[in-house]
Amino acid sequence: MDWGVGVSFVRKRVGRDGTVRYQALYEDLKGRRRSAGTFKTEKQAAKAGQRAEAIQTVARVPERRLSRQTFKHYVKES
């Protein structure tokens, strides 16, 4: 089943002072790249990206047009 959620990944970031940080990135339900935060270790960033991706899968909202019904149908079924 395709939930429309992309794979999370980690990007290495080097600051002006030379410090290395890791940014967790994932794709939201609309395919836009989002950040799940910036972390000291790559492992922390990977976990945050996976958590954000899991939340996207669980909190998936159905399309509104698919859940609409006509008033006529509502009256007949009630």
- How confident is the model over 9-20, as pLDDT tens digits? 999 999 999 999
Q: pLDDT tens digit string along 13-67?
A: 999 999 999 999 998 878 889 999 999 999 999 999 999 988 887 766 566 666 6
- CA-to-CA distance for 73 and 68, rounded, in angstroms? 10
For the chain, which domains are there?
9-77 (3.30.730)
pLDDT of residue 45: 96
pLDDT interval class at 6 (50, 70, 90): low
pTM: 0.65
